[in-house]
Amino acid sequence: MTNWTPHTARAREWFEHLRDLICAEFEAIEREAGSEAEFRYTPWLREGQDGEADTGGGTQGLMKGKVFEKVGVNVSTVHGAFSKEFAGSINGASPEQPEFSATGISLVAHMANPHVPAVHMNTRFLTTTKAWFGGGADLNPPLPYEEDTQDFHARLRAACSAHNPTYYERFSKWADEYFFIPHRGVHRGVGGIFYDHLECADDAGFDRNLAFTQDVGRAFLDIFPELVRRRMKSDFNDADKARQLEWRGRYAEFNLVYDRGTLFGLKTGGNVDAILMSLPPEATWN
């Protein structure tokens, strides 16, 4: 496998910095709501396979508060070898060359007030015989507001356009296709962007795609707290809450059946609690 260790270290440094910025902002929102909730951080080590040792790990950050009913912000950096059965499904890997390294940040926020949208954000850097960035962010409101949807997309569009005029149209379409629940025939939310396999064939490619991935993170940090503050004091009734709980059931179905990140984590010896932090604290199925 190509030695991408310096690149992995740089990507990891950014993901950890972004986590710290996001968690500080979310805790600030809790303070504005009169809550003392804060993140609790739990480190974990990857379970190596077939005698692997020192295969990395991560930190699970979890907060349960007045505004954020449950929010997880996780960063992990792991390396090792895919199983032969799984290796063939990963870009640049094969049963003959199953080695990989991966670092990334993953965030899911489930909100107490059903008028505040839930959200998902994930960006990552992987290496096999190739190296690439992937990720994105998407908004998941139980009670959608067109203003919120437009503002969320506008901020992501600006981040994309600063790097490539084709990115937003390509990646927003990809999000619409990816965040879809086939057995329900509905989208998981109101979209966002999703990208993968932005390959880094050399240092210049790494720098270019890291810069884009950083701007995706900054765009998320810019717009989502604004939406939370916009809606977190809204009045809601039992019907609104019932809608939220039913919608959360759909969210759980997608993450357990179709989500690539869930599958990747479970197939590579990740921490189960960190992987499944995306599941809502409460949901209903009627």
Q: How far apart are CA 71 and CA 26, in angstroms?
A: 9
> Could you count the other beta carbons within 10 Å of the beta carbon of residue 200?
21
Q: How far apart are CA 179 and CA 202, in angstroms?
A: 31
Looking up tokens 């010896």, which residue turns up?
Answer: 269
Q: How far apart are CA 109 and CA 140, in angstroms?
A: 10
CA-based torsion, 95, 97, 266, 142: positive or negative: negative
Q: How far apart are CA 46 and CA 23, in angstroms?
A: 23
* Strand spans (E) along the chain: 40-45, 56-63, 68-81, 99-111, 118-127, 131-140, 180-181, 186-187, 192-199
| SS3 label, residue 275 | helix
Rounded to 5 degrees, what angle do the CA atoms 79, 81, 82 make? 115
Residues classed as catalytic: 120
Q: How far apart are CA 28 and CA 34, in angstroms?
A: 10
Looking up tokens 């996780």, which residue turns up?
Answer: 74
Q: How far apart are CA 99 and CA 89, in angstroms?
A: 13
Q: How far apart are CA 228 and CA 212, in angstroms?
A: 25
H-helix segments, 39-164: 84-87, 146-161
